[in-house]
Amino acid sequence: MLHYIGVILLGALLTFAYAPFSLWFLTPVLLAGFFYRLLLTKSGFKTGFAFGLGWFGAGISWVHVSIADFGGLPLVGSLGLMILLCSFLALYPALFAFILKKYCQPRYWPLAAPFIWFLIEFIRSWLFTGFPWLSIGYSQLSGPLSGWMPVIGETGVSVLVVALCASIALSIKQKVYLPSVALVSILIIGGWALNSVNWVSPKPNTVSIAMVQGNIKQEMRWAPEEEAPTMEKYRKLTESHWQNQLIIWPEAAVPRLESTAESFLYDLDIQAASNDSGLITGIVNYDYDSRQAFNNLIALGKKDSADTEGQYHYLHSNRYDKHHLLPFGEFIPFESWLRKLAPIFDLPMSSFTRGDYLQANLVSNGIHLAPAICFEIAFPRQISANLTPETDFIITVSNDAWFGHSHGPDQHLEIAQVRAKEFGLPVLRATNNGITAFIGYDGKIINQLPQFQAGVLYADLASTSGYTPYRKWGDLPLWILSLIVLGWLWREKIKSTK
């Protein structure tokens, strides 16, 4: 019993390695502790499951805020749902530990563990639309291993961390320390060296951009009597910032269906164009013909820098339909019977239609923007697939009011920072109540607005020229290496059984 309590604690303490705490050095210590306990136990599955319960139970505890405050469930019910969610996510490290323990000899763990982890984490990012939150590599954004992110991405950094931790655990057990010391030295020195490489360079011309944070309380966002005041608030906050080339409003900033907000959007379109500006806003659209709802980003005002008029008309093509929908938040699995169980399965805006995986960039005032709505920023493969040679910035909009004062919004911002560093492109992050931020191509925050305050953040920002290795190759090198390594390990296992 003490073994499992200890492993749960190791997983739970990982929370402090991520934002807002960012104690990156905890990850190798705690993960090496997990591997050491795994070496000593007979039950890989149970040990991995216990680690996962701690890892996700503490790490995504912010989900409970939305369930408890907006789900309409009693405390027992909301805690029960959190336990179910964390238990499901804990199955991934449990499966990893089971495979590693059953099929790999400990001497091969430093080589086998990282690639088994890579495959299991890929499944986590894909199954049931995927939930890749708290991937290990994010915890290293502030550490020396972050230099590897433009080369092999956050996914590759996760692989390096797992290799390092498995090696440390094995060294401690066998009391042979030279191999792990060498590996740690190579990875850290390599990360420091790579952090000094300029994979991309800023373009000479900057773009003036303003992002509006309305700070609308979640319980007021879809109240009919609050629609007009909310739209007026965003308009007023924008009034003194029309001199910017681009203005960004967050996810669903306009709290009406697009078909019922046409006059407001037409006026905004004309006003933006008359001020030589472009505006991007989030809005929900419902197509009455197909009976489908979409979580959209739409462009208003000037489309090209040479335009003199606006571009908007209902269902115009310069828009983005959210692809990665949040389970239970934006679509309900097994909808026909789950909606009858509890109010949480009948939340406003919880039945959207998925947009295409590949979509054209938004174009506003001649600026090309690769969009991601809310937790889509956690899917690097989707972001990569929608980058083009013309892409100037990555834009991500969100509404994290669901999660109150928890650490969820800080983790969300950290993920956006990693995307910037991976792809060598600035990220524009506009949110309803924080954390709105300009992120440089190196993943560092240029400036940001405080949470729970209405305001406007503005900056002159340059795009970049050049490509990072990760933008060119993505996860392809990891897939090739994983197939080679796992194939070799399988051959070694067959040879040992003869």
With CA atoms as reference, report the closest residue to 176 among 88, 110, 264: 110
In whole angstroms, give the CA distance from residue 473 to residue 464.
Answer: 18
With CA atoms as reference, report the closest residue to 34 among 60, 61, 8: 8
Which CB contacts under 8 angstroms, 24+ apart, belong to 69-77? 69/218, 69/404, 70/218, 70/219, 70/344, 70/347, 70/402, 71/342, 71/343, 71/344, 71/347, 72/342, 72/343, 72/344, 73/342, 73/343, 73/344, 77/342
Q: How would DSSP label each residue in 358-420? A: S-PPEEETTEEEEEEEGGGGG-HHHHHHT--TT--EEEEEE-GGGGTTSSHHHHHHHHHHHHH
Give the H or E element holding residue 299: strand 292-301
With CA atoms as reference, report the closest residue to 380 among 267, 265, 473, 261: 473
Token pair for 25: 């050095």
Token pair for 228: 């007009």
* Inter-residue contact 438 to 428 (CB < 8 Å): yes
Vertex 328: Cα angle to 324 and 330 (nearest 5): 45
* Inter-residue contact 249 to 364 (CB < 8 Å): no
**Left, alpha or beta for 366 (phi > 0: left; psi -120 to 50: alpha)?**
left
Token pair for 423: 């792809």
Question: For residue 229, what are the contacts with CB-CB under 8 A and spacing of at least 6?
Answer: none
Q: Cα 418 to chain center, whole Å?
A: 9
Vertex 423: Cα angle to 422 and 427 (nearest 5): 100
What one-letter code names the amino acid at 424?
A: G
Active site residues: 251, 322, 374
Q: How far is CA 343 from CA 64, 67, 74, 206, 220, in A?
A: 15, 10, 11, 48, 17
In whole angstroms, give the CA distance from residue 385 to residue 388.
Answer: 8
In whole angstroms, give the CA distance from residue 140 to residue 151.
Answer: 14
In whole angstroms, give the CA distance from residue 126 to residue 176.
Answer: 38
